[in-house]
Amino acid sequence: MKPIHLNLASRPYRDYRPVYAAVVALSVLTALLMLENIDTYYRYTHETRNTRAKIEKIEAETQQERQREEMSQQRIKGLDLGRLSAQTKYVNAQLSQRAFSWSTLLDELESVLSDDVRILSISPGFTDTRDVTLSLTFQTKSADGMLTTINQMNGDPQFKDPFPSNESQIEGGYQFSLNVLYTPPTLPGGDDGVVRAANKSEVAR
């Protein structure tokens, strides 16, 4: 006889364990994705906040620079540039006058004058540059003394554009006047400021 198997279940038996395992795995994966999203959102919010703070700081600094620029422009507009330029030229002329070396000028003139030409007067005019305008009066025994002096000055780099202002015959010779631009020599390896300081010391001595 065959054994009899009785199934007393109201429904057929089904194994749901794979389904439960899949649900648990999906739940864990969903939780991990949520945590990752939360972390990403937090980092995004934090970085955005820092970026906004930096942008606000840069904008504040830019605004301050604009305000400083506007204040500088207002100050410049308030300046009397014409008067300031005139004052600057006056000060530079005074500095040029104080730094002027008479001994150097006399040595330069001695090197360009002929033996029969002597100086009667020297009148310097100082500007805001290194150049000095000279009004010179000479006496010579020869009729070509003025022309010789002009030619010799043209050959010296310290003198520029000598031009006669008058010439007259006097007892024992001739008298003539020249206007010339004189550039004081510079020291070897020195700049203008050094030359001015050196000349100033020389004048003081």
Per the CB < 8 A criterion, the answer to whether 182 and 131 are in contact is yes
- pLDDT value of residue 35: 85
Host domain of residue 152? 100-204
CATH code at position 142: 3.30.1360.100
Give the mean pLDDT of 141-155.
91
What's the predicted TM-score (pTM) here? Answer: 0.45
- Residue 101 near residue 199, CB atoms below 8 Å: yes
Residue 1 lies in a domain: no
**Is 24 part of any domain?**
yes
pLDDT beyond 90 at 150: yes
Q: How does residue 139 score in pLDDT terms, banded at 50, 70 and 90?
A: very high
Q: Is 61 contained in some domain?
A: yes
Query: From edge to edge, which strands make up the β-sheet containing 173-182?
Result: 117-126, 132-140, 173-182, 159-170
State the CB neighbour count (10 A cutoff) for residue 156.
Answer: 16
| pLDDT tens readout for residues 82-128 | 665 666 565 555 555 565 678 888 888 988 988 889 999 988 887 66
pLDDT digits (tens, 9 = 90+) for 11-61: 565 666 777 788 888 888 888 888 888 888 888 888 888 888 888 888 888
